[in-house]
Structure 1
Amino acid sequence: MMRRRTTLLTGCTALVLALGATACGAGEPVAAGGGDKALDGKTVSVAGVWSGSEQKNFQKVLDAFTEKTGATTEFVSTGDNVSTVVGSKIEGGNAPDVVMVPQVGVLKQFAEAGWLKPLDKKVQGTVEKNFAEVWRNYGSVDGTLYGLYFKAAHKSTVWYSPEALEQAGVTPPKTYDALLKAGRTVSDSGLAAFSVAGQDGWTLTDWFENVYLSQAGPEKYDALAAHEIKWTDPSVVEALTTLGELFEDERLVSGGRKEALTTDFPGSVEKVFGPEPDAAMVYEGDFVAGVAKDQFGKDIGTDADFFPFPPVGDGEAPVVSGGDAAVVLQDGKNAEAGMALLEYLATPEAAAVWAEAGGFLSPNKELDPGSYGDDVTRATAKSLIDAGDSVRFDMSDQAPAAFGGTQGKGEWKILQDFLRDPSDPEKTAAELEKAAAKAYGN
């Protein structure tokens, strides 16, 4: 629970003055007004993985919080190894107040280590009103709500240059087999089919998860995510074999596998939407649109568009999601102000700031869809909200960080090795199981 102030401003009164957005009693939102600056002199330190345009746009949200409350904010980018960086800061007595956690497994790890403050009743009430149960479950550990999912991702989208597909004479494919066929036709026209960000191992886990969810089905997906079945299961080998068909075809991957392994995520978007395109398509989440728009000036829906990740074989089209959860650390120097930031982040007002900037989806069902700047993003956000509890969260993000969320280790490293040489799916499955068993402790 958030500790009471030692001044006369206690409990609900303090939070109302801090946010100027919530009434006491029933907890219904009221007009925000100009803010009462009740957190003047407080500094909220925030750590998260974002950099580049994502960090810039999140800073706009933090600036809006400052304008409302008077609190100063400091954002520190952790890079991909958020658990390691945050752990070292806690040990060094320099814990941030708030962490934007990008993996369910890391949130669980932090909670079990006793690092997190449960969200106070005020924040819980806002979350229950504005978020579907699936997002509350992802933010909870053993029934206690610790995390607020501020930013979501729709990770079943394939982004493409409409001009490139038109020149090749192909249309967005409806099946995975048709995707490969269309890719080879694009290659024959002079561009590679896909830009693959193999330098960032998380993109490869996303490729695998979409193939696996569609091919193996949701029950197997849930079982593998919980390590209730082994990674040597035939369903895993089958999915790796399917993915390997794409990776091993040099016509399909821009620069071939070797160049893909030195291409990071922003670079993969540049290969499709930059000034000198090398590829027609890039698979990744909806956040591709933010990079295409902010860094390369693309008009979303005209210069850049997407189609749903197509179903594999007889399976259904996958809907894989991800997200970043805000949590408050026990050891933060301004944990009370940090909790006030989370209450602000739980409002549609906060989500609208980034939605208007672009490159963002919110799981907040109360956010006005008109806040999104284009029809494509609006449609993507709607499909994620409408999917409700049928969405499957990114599998690697549910795993212990040592397996599913650490650069150069576990699933990230093993799938990079698979991209380098996709000839032996059984061997890759065995390596994945060995790493998983160690990380899960079973």
Structure 2
Amino acid sequence: MPSSRRAFLGAAGALLLTGCSSDVLGLRRAVRVAVSWSGQELRAFHKVLDGLGTLEYPVEVVPLGDDISTAFGARSTRRPDIVMLPQPGLVPRHLDDLEPMPDDLAPLGRARLWDELLTHNGTTYGVPFKTAHKSAVWYRPSVFEQAGVQPPRLWSEWLTVNRTLTQAGITPLSLAAGDGWVLTDFLENVLLGIAPSVYVGLAAATDPRPSRQPQFGAALRLLGTMWSAPGALAGGVKESLVQQFPDALIEVFGHRRAAMVLASDFAEPVVRSFAADPDDIGLFTFPPMSPGAAAPVVVGGDVMVLPKPTRDDARDLVRRLSAPAAADPWIKEGGFLVDGRVSGYTPELTRLAMQLTKPGEQLQFDLSDQLGRLGDINGLWRVLTDFLVQVGGRGAAVVPGAVDDAINELRTVEES
């Protein structure tokens, strides 16, 4: 997943330090950690580092934001020693740039979803640090009660909930379309819900062609039925297109101009900071698309990788950050899930953590992350943005033509 969501909760300086830079003092060289985080997330990571205790080497944290992938191209003495990669799908494309993880760390990253991305020919090239649940929907229970509705148990019920809210004068959805990955999250959940085998096949393909899959068009049509409903989007398409991820959360819980928002677990600190009523916070997860089907659960996250050449100090820091209790300071801050851990969270995040470990759930990794250039800002992001412009609030009649246009646009990207 491209990392523009990392910019929420404030800006950060170009370089933050933990300890003293050895480049300045002429002492032991610092371990440089490239991250995409800023604001609250960056501050929370510094608390994690502080919690590691006294280290024999200094640590420099380098916030690269959306330019995190450029860390692999750095070959000077200032290059990062560790990259906290928010797009684990990039790992298979950068194997030549990465050192294998030490043997004692490799088993820590062997959960199924991570194993498929991070282990190649028996060698592990990354260790999970942070997991993201991308099928979470935050909502205000008070407006649901006002309209006499409950969190939906099926996709069709969700559409009914939206209509009922609209009829009661309540705008159902806040949509951060200014961050294209929010749009891909929506589509990925729908596609995984109706056609898991197609989803898996596209993720594994060396030359994925979503436009050739009828189920991909079917997912667009279903998504179009939600986005095209008159009055469904707070501020309409115009405001949705310029709305960033934190603004969409504030629209629901601060300004209270919408009832719900699709937003991952890392939204929690924003939700709690801006909620006008701290008791009016609810969460449900993306419902199944049909009776008897499994609910889709789309997973993302951040993984630690070691660019070549690596050093023993960098390996030591990865080991320390991989320890089960290392993330406790960030967990206390909120908005942080650890793969396989189900305790220590708020009630809302505990529910999400439990779903990530529940047998039989339809868990798959973020598809746009694995599609390469097809899933990025010039690919699926742009296609879905144009699709939203065509269908948003204009009624279901426009959806079939808009789907055809989106498929043709996507085909052009595939062939370029």
TM-score (norm 1): 0.79
Gaps of at least 5 residues in structure 1 are 1-39
The CA deviation string for residues 54-90 of structure 1, in whole angstroms up to 9 with x for no partner, is: 222122112223x24243322222223422x3245x1
Query: C-alpha separation between the residues in 2 aligned to 1:271 and 1:141?
Result: 43
SS at match of 2:229: coil
Query: C-alpha separation between the residues in 2 aligned to 1:55 and 1:87?
Result: 21
Match of 1:221 in 2: 199
Query: C-alpha separation between the residues in 2 aligned to 1:87 and 1:124?
Result: 21
Query: C-alpha separation between the residues in 2 aligned to 1:428 and 1:237?
Result: 9
For 1:18-417, what aligned pairs fall within 5 Å after superposition?
41-65=28-52, 67-83=53-69, 85-88=70-73, 90=74, 94-111=78-95, 114-125=96-107, 127=108, 132-216=111-195, 218-227=196-205, 230-274=210-254, 276-296=255-275, 299=278, 302-314=279-291, 315-331=293-309, 335-363=311-339, 365=340, 367=341, 369-372=342-345, 374-387=346-359, 390-400=362-372, 402-405=373-376, 408-417=377-386
| Contact 1:195-1:268 within 8 A present in 2 as well | yes
| Contact 2:355-2:361 within 8 A present in 1 as well | no
Q: Indicate the larger mover: 387-396 or 254-263.
A: 387-396
Query: C-alpha separation between the residues in 1 aligned to 2:414 and 2:75?
Result: 27
SS at match of 1:69: coil
Aligned-pair distance for 1:196? 0.4
| Contact 2:296-2:361 within 8 A present in 1 as well | no
Query: C-alpha separation between the residues in 2 aligned to 1:266 and 1:151?
Result: 19
Match of 1:29 in 2: none
SS at match of 1:391: strand
The CA deviation string for residues 248-306 of structure 1, in whole angstroms up to 9 with x for no partner, is: 223111111111110011111111111x211110012222223212454864xx32121
Aligned-pair distance for 1:161? 0.8
| Contact 1:99-1:326 within 8 A present in 2 as well | yes
Q: Indicate the larger mover: 262-271 or 102-111.
A: 102-111
CA pair 109-433 structure 1, distance change in 2 beyond 3 A: same
The AA in structure 2 aligned to 1:326 is M
CA pair 428-226 structure 1, distance change in 2 beyond 3 A: farther
Match of 1:27 in 2: none
The CA deviation string for residues 203-236 of structure 1, in whole angstroms up to 9 with x for no partner, is: 11100000011112x2111112234554232111
Gaps of at least 5 residues in structure 2 are 1-26, 392-398
Query: C-alpha separation between the residues in 2 aligned to 1:107 and 1:437?
Result: 24
| Contact 2:91-2:118 within 8 A present in 1 as well | yes
Query: C-alpha separation between the residues in 1 aligned to 2:178 and 2:43?
Result: 23
CA pair 298-341 structure 1, distance change in 2 beyond 3 A: farther
CA pair 388-116 structure 1, distance change in 2 beyond 3 A: farther
SS at match of 1:45: strand
Aligned-pair distance for 1:237? 0.8
Aligned-pair distance for 1:92? 5.8
The CA deviation string for residues 340-385 of structure 1, in whole angstroms up to 9 with x for no partner, is: 121112211112222222101100x3x4x4422x222112112212
Query: C-alpha separation between the residues in 2 aligned to 1:238 and 1:72?
Result: 53
TM-score (norm 2): 0.84
Aligned-pair distance for 1:437? 4.9
When the two structures are aligned, how many residues end up with a matched partner? 378
The AA in structure 2 aligned to 1:60 is K
Query: C-alpha separation between the residues in 2 aligned to 1:194 and 1:418?
Result: 17
Query: C-alpha separation between the residues in 2 aligned to 1:224 and 1:282?
Result: 27
Match of 2:395 in 1: none
CA pair 92-413 structure 1, distance change in 2 beyond 3 A: farther
The AA in structure 2 aligned to 1:203 is V
CA pair 95-298 structure 1, distance change in 2 beyond 3 A: farther
Query: C-alpha separation between the residues in 1 aligned to 2:347 and 2:414?
Result: 40
Q: Identity across aligned pairs (percent)?
A: 35
Query: C-alpha separation between the residues in 2 aligned to 1:389 and 1:175?
Result: 15
User: Pairwise CA RMSD of aligned residues?
Assistant: 2.3
Aligned-pair distance for 1:390? 4.9
SS at match of 2:326: helix
